[in-house]
Amino acid sequence: MDVAAALALARRRGVDRLDAQVLLAHHLAQPRTWLIAHDDAPLPAEVQQRFTADLESRAAGAPLAYLLGEREFHGLRLAVTPAVLVPRPETEVLVDWALALLGAQPGEQTGEQTDGQPGAPRVIDLGTGSGAIAVSVARRCPAARVSATDIDAGALAVARANAQALGCAIELHQGSWWSAVAGQRFELALSNPPYIAGDDPHLAALRYEPRHALTPGGDGLDALRMIVAGAPAHLEAGGWLLVEHGFDQGAAVRALLVDAGFETVQTRRDLAGHERCSGGRWGAGPAAESHVTGSRGTAGGDAKHAT
């Protein structure tokens, strides 16, 4: 079998041409453009075998990211396994908002962290999965001290590997939502929790991803309710909570935040124009400003705010 025959096989199996090219290039350890100039190149037997197996999986609905073992998120290449949700582009809205609150420069990227300094803002990512949010924030805002949690040990292992591979020191904790960081407070709390309703028919198409990463059951809002309800005990005064939610859950999440006593409650839209992330500031007071900074090391432990 040569390159052209492999791509023709993919077409007959109903696999998208771009997906097939990406998979074949991956198995050949070549860039995708190489395939165009080498369509008569013979495939080694083991490449044929792995490519054919992947075509079957892809045709059955397995995410391309699981077959490749990686996904790009916020400009970073993250390892993914079936233990974690495949990071979605919508979640980059949450990361961009977090970075704006932290005063990080767009595009800034370094593996060198300076966390642990007095005044380093403490950031928590609840339900970190692959570590997509935590690692992106740690990379773009090296001054932050980033923690991340998940209920699932398999997900934490993936997050740990990604943090190590990308040179980020992230504190990882296993446990359900805030119970994983009992007694700790943060300047910024972030979460992309499971939010699909338990009876949503779209869940069938997402069957390869862990169900507990997709839905908390019921109306889909239970995890968001727990995260919002627990946030006041874990945020410094003036700290922010930002959460991702379903396109039709914006009003419900804003109501949760307002009812819990959050101020400056607002929502950001994703690139498709859907309401995607909502957040609010905890106990901001009249003089609060727009960036979060750490409070550790300040007299009396009161929160500082700087623009």
Ligand X SMILES: C[S@@+](CC[C@H](N)C(=O)[O-])C[C@H]1O[C@@H](n2cnc3c(N)ncnc32)[C@H](O)[C@@H]1O
Least CB distance from residue 169 to ligand X, whole Å?
A: 18
- Which listed range, 18-26, 50-58, 82-90, 164-172, lies at the site for ligand X (CB under 6 A)? 82-90
230 in contact with ligand X (CB under 6 A): no
CA torsion through residues 56, 59, 63, 64, sign: positive
Q: Contact, 202 vs 248, CB < 8 A? A: no
Which listed residue (212, 225, 268, 291) binds ligand X by CB under 6 A? 212
136 in contact with ligand X (CB under 6 A): no
133 in contact with ligand X (CB under 6 A): yes
Among 196, 218, 217, residue whose Cα is nearest residue 205: 196
Q: Are strands 235-244 and 186-191 parallel, antiparallel or unpaired?
A: parallel
155 in contact with ligand X (CB under 6 A): yes
Query: Of 181 and 235, which has the nearer Cβ to ligand X?
Result: 181
48 in contact with ligand X (CB under 6 A): no
Residues numbered 180-209 forming contacts with ligand X, rule: CB under 6 A: 192-194
- Concatenating the DSSP letter of every residue in 280-296 gives EESS--TT--SEE---T
Which listed residue (128, 136, 147, 293) binds ligand X by CB under 6 A? 128
Query: Of 15 and 76, which has the nearer Cβ to ligand X?
Result: 76
Cα-Cα-Cα-Cα dihedral of 197, 199, 205, 209, to 10°?
Answer: 50
Strand ranges across the sheet with 275-281 = 170-174, 145-150, 122-126, 186-191, 235-244, 275-281, 263-269
- Which listed range, 44-52, 58-66, 127-135, 252-260, lies at the site for ligand X (CB under 6 A)? 127-135
Binding site for ligand X (CB under 6 A): 84-85, 87, 91, 127-130, 132-133, 149-152, 155, 176-177, 192-194, 212-213
